[in-house]
């Protein structure tokens, strides 16, 4: 049985360059690449697009340098939401030339006035969706865990935010790291499978920090249950491997960081772990 389309987000091989990622992912036999804008050389987009096409990989969920309307602990600058909105819209226009699946957007961290912050986020993401519509791009909104500092952190809140924004080109990114322990998440994956643009795949086991994520199969997440629910719900989109694994660049230099491995080895292990979990996927229990 063929596997679903599978890509690798460039954070998974963070130290490598864009062209090194293309080579590693192609060698591992994946279908696509989730491009992070910080890896694209400035002023060389034509060359980067040519390299992408030559690799045969599809650009999937691509991440701007400023993806969120409000600043958060990772995407800190600029501080002003209007400046952030302008940079996000510029990145959406830039990414459009890469013929991608979608651009990732986030809410950001709450400030002193959550009500006003939510209005700011809604307005900002409406503007981003309008820009994306002008250039024929879809957006994927990703919620972040509450303990990581996020204004939006559950699937119902995410769907409510999308309703308020009202943009037909804005869908949901499900990240196993952030959503794995939400009540009823397996049922929700089946129920809302058509609302997802992408499923971000990773694993976790007693994380030492937010940047201590594992390759699929190396942790305790019930990925086969997630995949079974999505399959039962009719999800036909992309699965995207996204792993942060601190090698000292953020806070801790973990001796077992995947960033210390060769990119091609990380890619091959990621593919193998995903396919094993997919082969073991579980149909959700019948609803009573």
Give a three-class secondary structure readout of the chain: CCCCCEEEEHHHHCCCCHHHHHHHHHHHCCCEEECEHHHCCCCCHHHHHHHHHHHCCEECEEECCCCECCCCCCCCCCCCHHHHHHHHHHHHHHHHCCCCCEEEEECCCCCCCHHHHHHHHHHHHHHHHHHHHHCCCCEEEECCCHHHCCCCCCHHHHHHHHHHHCCCCEEEEEEHHHHCCCCCHHHHHHHCHHHEEEEEECECCCCCCCCECECCCCCCCCHHHHHHHHHHHCCCCEEEECCCECECCCCCECCCCHHHCCHHHHHHHHHHHHHHHHHCCCCCCCCC
Interval 246-269: pLDDT, tens: 999 999 999 999 999 999 999 999
Overall average pLDDT of the 1-28 stretch: 96
Mean pLDDT of all residues in 150-167: 90
For residue 137, what pLDDT is reported? 98
In sequence order, what are the residues at sequence separation of 6 or more whose Cβ sits closer than 8 angstroms to the Cβ of residue 224? 277, 278, 280, 281, 282
Residue 69 pLDDT > 80: yes
211 has a pLDDT exceeding 70: yes
Per-residue pLDDT, averaged over 227-234, amounts to 97
Q: Which residue ranges make up each domain of the chain?
A: 6-279
Query: In Å, how far are 6, 24, 30, 62 from 242, measured between CA atoms?
Result: 11, 15, 14, 12
Q: What is the pTM of this model?
A: 0.96
Mean pLDDT of the 83-87 span: 97
Flag whether pLDDT at 288 surpasses 70.
no
Please name every residue paired with 174 in a beta bridge, in sequence order, or none if there are none: 199
Higher pLDDT, 152 or 22: 22
Q: Is the pLDDT of residue 168 over 90?
A: yes
Query: Using CA atoms, how far apart are residues 281 and 11, in angstroms rounded to an integer?
Result: 26
Least confident stretch, 111-115, 199-203, 239-243:
111-115
Residue 287's pLDDT band, with cuts at 50, 70 and 90, is low
Percent of the chain residues topping a pLDDT of 70 = 98
Mean pLDDT of 132-136: 98
Exposure string for 150-167, b = 16+ CB within 10 A, e = fewer: bbbbbbebbbebbeebeb
Fold of 6-279: TIM Barrel (3.20.20)
CA angle 197, 40, 110 (to 5 degrees): 55
Q: Of 130, 81, 131, which Cα lies nearest the Cα of 106?
A: 81
Query: Is the separation of the CB atoms in 17 and 39 below 8 Å?
Result: yes
How high does pLDDT run on average in the chain?
95
C-alpha distances in Å from residue 207, one per residue of 74, 102, 224, 257: 17, 29, 20, 12
**Average pLDDT over every residue of 135-146:** 94
Predicted pLDDT of residue 286: 56
Confidence of residue 156 (pLDDT cuts 50, 70, 90): confident
């Amino acid at each position: 049985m063929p596997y679903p389309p599978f890509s690798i987000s460039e954070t998974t091989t963070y130290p490598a360059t864009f062209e090194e990622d293309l080579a590693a992912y192609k060698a591992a036999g994946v279908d696509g690449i989730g491009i992070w804008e910080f890896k694209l050389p400035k002023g060389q987009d034509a060359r980067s697009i040519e390299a992408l096409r030559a690799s045969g990989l599809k650009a999937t969920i691509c991440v701007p340098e400023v993806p969120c309307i409000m600043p958060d602990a990772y995407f800190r600058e600029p501080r002003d939401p209007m400046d952030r909105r302008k940079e996000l819209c510029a990145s959406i226009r830039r990414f459009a030339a890469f013929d991608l699946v979608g651009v990732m957007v986030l809410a950001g961290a709450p400030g002193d006035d959550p009500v006003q912050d939510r209005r700011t986020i809604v307005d900002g993401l409406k503007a981003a969706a309008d820009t994306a519509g002008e250039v024929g791009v879809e957006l994927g909104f990703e919620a972040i865990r509450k303990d990581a500092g996020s204004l939006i952190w559950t699937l119902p809140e995410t769907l409510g935010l999308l309703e308020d924004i009202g943009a037909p080109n804005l869908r949901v990114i499900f990240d196993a790291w952030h959503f794995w322990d939400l009540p009823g998440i397996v049922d929700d994956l089946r129920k809302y499978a058509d609302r997802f643009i992408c499923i971000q795949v990773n694993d976790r086991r007693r994380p030492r920090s937010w940047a201590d994520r594992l390759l699929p199969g190396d942790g305790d997440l019930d990925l086969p249950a997630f995949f079974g629910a999505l399959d039962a719900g009719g999800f036909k989109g992309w699965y995207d491997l996204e792993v942060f694994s601190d090698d000292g660049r953020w806070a801790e230099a973990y001796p077992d960081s995947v960033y210390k491995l060769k990119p091609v080895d990380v890619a091959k292990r990621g593919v193998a772990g995903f396919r094993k979990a997919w082969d073991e996927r579980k149909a959700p229990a019948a609803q009573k």
